[in-house]
């Protein structure tokens, strides 16, 4: 069981498969995709972060995090207007899944670009996610601790002065193996698409 093991976890067309690193540390980075379509223009298109726990459909939560409460749990923030995160996690049988969706609103588009580049640099080795926002990036990493594997996918999307970040991870505590790379990558991108749609809709309201 997860609690007994003391396991600590940090809290459409598919993108090209993200390359994977078997280490837990990353260095160097890539910039934004110059040919990614810009869904939102302007120096400050967003003024507030939308509710993250409403950004996924119930079906998506059940598919990605079997056994989790579909309502999710919002993580306390020092400034809920600018930074909001929702988390779902569950252990079903021996399969564990964890999903976080975060929205962060920056002061300007320039600040959001800098944040995007910093996040890519911190988790290098992945690839672009086309067709979502102004720029998108996906990476999947495999980690192992005490012979227990876990696999974590990260997707970061920028649109104008907003950042959407999705973290999706999983483990199997019977086989000690991690879920397939493709499952984690596709799941994280699926969640990112829905989260970005929520962000785009918030601009219209």
Answer yes or no: is pLDDT of 89 > 50: yes
Report the pLDDT value the prediction gives residue 5, as an integer from 0 to 100: 36
Report the pLDDT value the prediction gives residue 13, as an integer from 0 to 100: 39
In the three-class reduction of DSSP (H, G, I as helix; E, B as strand; rest coil), residue 117 is classed as: helix
What's the Cα-to-Cα distance from 162 to each of 155, 157, 191, rounded to whole Å?
14, 8, 16
The residue ranking higher by pLDDT, 28 or 62, is 62
pLDDT confidence tier of residue 203, bands split at 50, 70 and 90: confident
Which tokens belong to 59? 């079906």
The predicted model gives 129-141 an average pLDDT of: 96
List the CATH code of the domain at 39-204: 3.40.1000
pLDDT confidence tier of residue 44, bands split at 50, 70 and 90: confident
* Tens-place pLDDT, residues 4-39: 333 333 333 344 444 564 333 333 333 444 343 344
Please return the burial class of 204, using the count of CB atoms within 10 Å of its CB with bins 0-12, 13-18 and 19+: exposed
The torsion of the CA quartet 41, 43, 45, 48, rounded to 10 degrees, works out to: 150
């Amino acid at each position: 069981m997860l609690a007994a093991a003391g396991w600590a976890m940090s809290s459409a067309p598919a993108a090209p498969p993200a390359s994977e690193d078997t280490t837990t540390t990353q260095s160097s980075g890539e910039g934004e995709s110059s040919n990614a379509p810009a869904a939102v223009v302007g120096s400050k298109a967003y003024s507030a972060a939308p509710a993250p726990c409403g950004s996924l459909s119930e079906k998506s939560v059940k598919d990605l995090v079997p056994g989790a409460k579909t309502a999710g749990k919002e993580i306390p923030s020092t400034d809920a207007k600018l930074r909001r995160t929702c988390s779902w996690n569950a252990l079903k049988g021996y399969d564990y899944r964890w999903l976080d969706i975060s929205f962060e609103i920056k002061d300007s588009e320039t600040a959001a670009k800098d944040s995007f580049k910093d996040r890519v640099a911190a988790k290098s080795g992945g690839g672009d996610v086309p067709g979502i926002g102004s720029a998108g990036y996906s990476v999947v990493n495999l980690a192992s601790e005490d012979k227990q594997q876990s696999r974590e996918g990260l997707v970061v999307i920028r649109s104008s002065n907003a950042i959407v970040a999705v973290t999706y991870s999983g483990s199997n505590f019977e086989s000690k193996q991690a879920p397939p790379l493709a499952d984690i990558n596709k799941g994280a991108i699926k969640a990112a698409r829905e989260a970005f749609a929520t962000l785009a809709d918030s601009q219209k309201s």
